[in-house]
Amino acid sequence: MRLGTSRSGVLAAAVLTAGSIALSACSAGSLGSSEQSTPGKTQITFLTNNDPNNVKTANAMIKAFQTDNADITVKLDTRPGGGEGDNLVKTRLSTGDMADVFEYNSGSLFQAISPEKNLTPVSDAAWAGDLDDTFKKVVTAGDNLYGAPWGPATGGGVLYNTKVYTKLGLKVPTTWDEFMANNAKIKAAGVTPVAQTFGDTWTSQIFVLADYHNVDEADPSFAENYTANKAKYATTPAAKAGFQHLEDVHKAGYLNKEFAAAKFEDGLRAVATGTAAHYPMITFAVPAMYGVTPKNVNDVGFFALPGTDAAKAGVTIWEPSGIYIPKTTTDAKLEAAKKFQAFVASPKACEVQAKVAPIGGPFPIKSCTLPANVATAVKDLTGYVEKGAITLALEFLSPIKGPALEQITVEVGSGIRSADAGAKLYDKDVEKQAQQLGLEGW
C-alpha cells in the first residue's frame, strides 16, 4: 500500500470537511429568504397543517388579508397533521418557539396545550359576539376566549347514496332498527350495505363518536359524569351502543369485502358511485369528494346516526380548528396577528373559503351564509343545524379522549374483539388521559 496516496486522501477529506462546515453556515433557506421584513411592513408567520387543500385555502386567505392590509405580510409555514403535528405544536409552544399566529384543533386538544399559560386571550375582540355559542365554548378556557374559527363546523353521521335509496324505495332511517332493515334490503339487491375503511384507522371511530347526540339525549349529564369518573362507556347502555353497532354491522355481514385495508378515498368513491349504500363519516369528507368523484358529489346525501328514539334524532357536531396567538407574540406583530385573527372571523373570510374550495358544513360565524351551490350532503346537514337538532361531540364537552380508541374500534369493527370488551378497554385507556390532565376523581 502506497502511503503517498493516503496523504492526498486525508487532505481531500480535510478540505471536504472544512468546506462543508463553511457551507453549513448558510442553509438553502437563508440563501433565498430574507430575515428582515421590508421597512414599513410588519411580517408575521402563520403556522398551519400541510394538507394540500388546507394549504390552498390558507394561501387564498393570506392573499385576501394582505390586499386589505397593505402594511402586513403573512408568511405561511406548514407542519404535518395528525399526531406528529400535535407533538410539533406542543414542542414549539413549550420551547417558546411558536409562529406569531397558528392554527390548531379546538376542544380537548385545545385544552391540552395549556391555553391560559400559552395563548393570548381575545375575549374583548369586536368579532367575539359574532361567533356561534357552540364554537365559543370550544375555544374558551377559564373565562377567556382564545380562538377564531378556521373553516366550517361539520357533522358526523352517515353518508348515503341517494340513487340507491330511490331505486330501492327506501326512506332515511330514524332508528337503528330501520337502518338495519334498510341494510338487509340493500344487501338483497346486491349492493354493499356499509363501507368501512380501516386502512385509515381514524375512520373506524365514527359509529362510536358520531353517536354522541343519542347518548346525550338519553343521558344529558353523561359528559360531566364521564369527566368526573362517575360514568363509563361499558356501564352506560346508551354509550356502549356505539361499540355494539360496530360489532353488529360486521357480524351481519354488511361490510365491503376489503374493509380492512380500504382507505378513506375508497369509502368516498364507493358511496358516491353507488357501489356501497352507506359510509359512516363526518361531512368534512364532502370537499374531498370533489377531488375523488367530482361528478357524483350530489348523489350523496347525509343523515344523522340513528338511535333508539326517532323523535330525538340529531347530528353530532365537530367544530373547526381555531386560530390562536401565542403569548410570545408581542408589539407590532401582536397587533398584526390580531388583525389576521379578526379577518379569519369575518364574513369576508367565509366568502374567500367558499370560493377557493367546496365547503363541508355551516360556518360558526353568525353573519356568514352558505353559498347556494353546496353539496346535497351539506344541505342535509344544514337542515339539522337549523332545527337545532345538534349536540357537540364528546371531545368538545370533555377533555378526555383515549388515544387508543381508533385501534379499539378497528378491532371491534373487524370482529377481533367484542363490543363489551372493547368498551371496557376504552374505559381503561381513558384513565391515563384523565390522570395526565390531573382531573379530579381519577
Partner 1 sequence: MTSRRPNYLLSAIALALFSVIFLLPFAFILFTAAMNQEEAATFRFSWPDNWQLIQNVKDVFRTRDYILVVAFINSTILTVASVAVMVILAAMVAFVLQRRKSRWNVPINILMLAGLIIPPAVVPTIWVMQELGIFKTMHGLILVEIAFGLSFCVLLFQAFISTIPRQLDEAAIVDGAGPLGLFFRIIFPLLRPVIVTVVVVQTVFVWNDFTNPLYFLPGDENATVQLTLFNFQSQYNTSYNLLFADILLITIPPLLLFLFFQRQIVSGLTAGSVKG
Partner 2 sequence: MANTVQTKAAVRPVDTQQPRATIARRQKSPYPFWFMIPAGVIYTVLFLVPAAVAFYFSLTRWTLFDQEFIGLDNYVQFFEEPALVSGLTHTLIFAVVTCGLKVVIGMALAVLLTSQIIGRAFLRSVAFFPVLVSTIGVGIAFTVLMNPTRGAINGALGVVGVQGPGWLTDPQWALLSVAFVDVWRGVGLATVIYMAGILSIPQEYFEAAKVDGAGSGQSFWHIVLPLAKPATVTVLILSLIGGLRSFDLIWAMTKGGPGFTSDVIASVIYKQYQAGFYGLSTAGNVILFLLVTGIVVPLFWWFNRKGVEA
Interface contacts to partner 1, rule CB under 8 A: 1, 3, 5-7, 9-10, 13, 16-17, 20-21, 23-33, 50-53, 55, 76-82, 84, 88, 91-92, 94-95, 97, 200, 202, 263-265, 285, 288, 291-292
Residue 418 CB, nearest distance to partner 2 (Å)? Answer: 13
How far is residue 145 CA from its own chain's centroid?
Answer: 20
For residue 176, which of 232, 254, 104 has the smallest C-alpha distance?
254
User: Contact between 127 and partner 2 (CB under 8 A)?
Assistant: no
Please pick, from the candidates 6, 91, 367, 369, the single residue that binds partner 2 as defined by CB under 8 A. Answer: 91
Q: In this structure, are residues 314 and 391 in contact, taking their beta carbons and an 8 Å threshold? A: yes
Please give the Cα distance from 399 to 133 (Å, whole number).
Answer: 18
Residue 112 CB, nearest distance to partner 2 (Å)? Answer: 6
In our burial notation (b when 16+ CB lie closer than 10 A, e otherwise), range 3-21 reads eeeeeeeeeeeeeeeeeee
Query: Which cell numbers in the block locate residue 309?
Result: 328514539
Please give the Cα distance from 108 to 104 (Å, whole number).
Answer: 11
Per DSSP, the residues of 9-45 read HHHHHHHHHHHHHHHHTS-HHHHHS-SSPPTT-EEEE
How many chain residues touch partner 2 (CB under 8 A)? 40
Selection from partner 2, partner 1, none that 28 binds (CB < 5 to 8 A by kind) is partner 1
Segment 395 to 414, residues that bind partner 2, using CB under 8 A: 403-404, 407-408, 410-411, 414
Amino acid identity of 88? L
> By rule CB under 8 A, what string of x and - marks binding of each residue 102-121 to partner 2?
----------xxx--xx---
Please pick, from the candidates 123, 201, 330, 373, the single residue that binds partner 2 as defined by CB under 8 A. Answer: 201
User: Contact between 1 and partner 2 (CB under 8 A)?
Assistant: yes
Number of H-type helices and E-type strands within the chain:
21, 13
Please pick, from the candidates 17, 59, 94, 369, the single residue that binds partner 2 as defined by CB under 8 A. Answer: 94
Please give the Cα distance from 424 to 362 (Å, whole number).
Answer: 35
User: Contact between 441 and partner 2 (CB under 8 A)?
Assistant: no
Selection from partner 1, partner 2, none that 21 binds (CB < 5 to 8 A by kind) is partner 1
Query: Which cell numbers in the block locate residue 101?
Result: 399566529
Helix, strand and coil content of the chain, in percent to the nearest 5, comes to: 50, 15, 35
Residue 217 CB, nearest distance to partner 1 (Å)? Answer: 30
Residue 350 CB, nearest distance to partner 1 (Å)? Answer: 21
For residue 318, which of 358, 280, 282, 363 has the smallest C-alpha distance?
282
Residue 61: helix, strand or coil by DSSP?
Answer: helix
Segment 40 to 59, residues that bind partner 2, using CB under 8 A: none
Other Cβ atoms within 10 Å of 420 Cβ, number:
14
The stretch near partner 2 (CB under 8 A) out of 143-151, 223-231, 257-265, 385-393 is: 257-265
Residue 424 CB, nearest distance to partner 2 (Å)? Answer: 10
Please pick, from the candidates 44, 58, 62, 93, the single residue that binds partner 2 as defined by CB under 8 A. Answer: 93
The stretch near partner 2 (CB under 8 A) out of 86-94, 131-139, 168-176, 297-305 is: 86-94
Q: In this structure, are residues 133 and 388 in contact, taking their beta carbons and an 8 Å threshold? A: no
Please give the Cα distance from 421 to 441 (Å, whole number).
Answer: 23
For residue 144, which of 127, 123, 129 has the smallest C-alpha distance?
123
Residue 325 CB, nearest distance to partner 1 (Å)? Answer: 19
Selection from partner 1, partner 2, none that 407 binds (CB < 5 to 8 A by kind) is partner 2
Segment 262 to 321, residues that bind partner 2, using CB under 8 A: none
For residue 132, which of 379, 317, 360 has the smallest C-alpha distance?
317
Residue 224 CB, nearest distance to partner 1 (Å)? Answer: 31
Q: Which is nearer to partner 1, 241 or 374 (CB)?
A: 374
Q: In this structure, are residues 79 and 47 in contact, taking their beta carbons and an 8 Å threshold? A: yes
Query: Which cell numbers in the block locate residue 362?
Result: 355551516
Selection from partner 2, partner 1, none that 403 binds (CB < 5 to 8 A by kind) is partner 2
Segment 8 to 27, residues that bind partner 2, using CB under 8 A: none
Q: Which is nearer to partner 2, 6 or 59 (CB)?
A: 6
* Local structure of residue 357 (DSSP, 8 states): S
Q: Which is nearer to partner 2, 38 or 95 (CB)?
A: 95
Residue 351 CB, nearest distance to partner 2 (Å)? Answer: 36
Other Cβ atoms within 10 Å of 68 Cβ, number:
11
Half-sphere exposure of 311 (CA within 13 A, CB side): 1
Residue 17 CB, nearest distance to partner 1 (Å)? Answer: 4
Q: Which residues bind partner 2 (CB under 8 A)?
A: 1, 3, 83-84, 86-87, 90-91, 93-94, 112-114, 117-118, 198-199, 201, 257-258, 260-261, 403-404, 407-408, 410-411, 414, 416-417, 425, 428-429, 432-433, 435-438
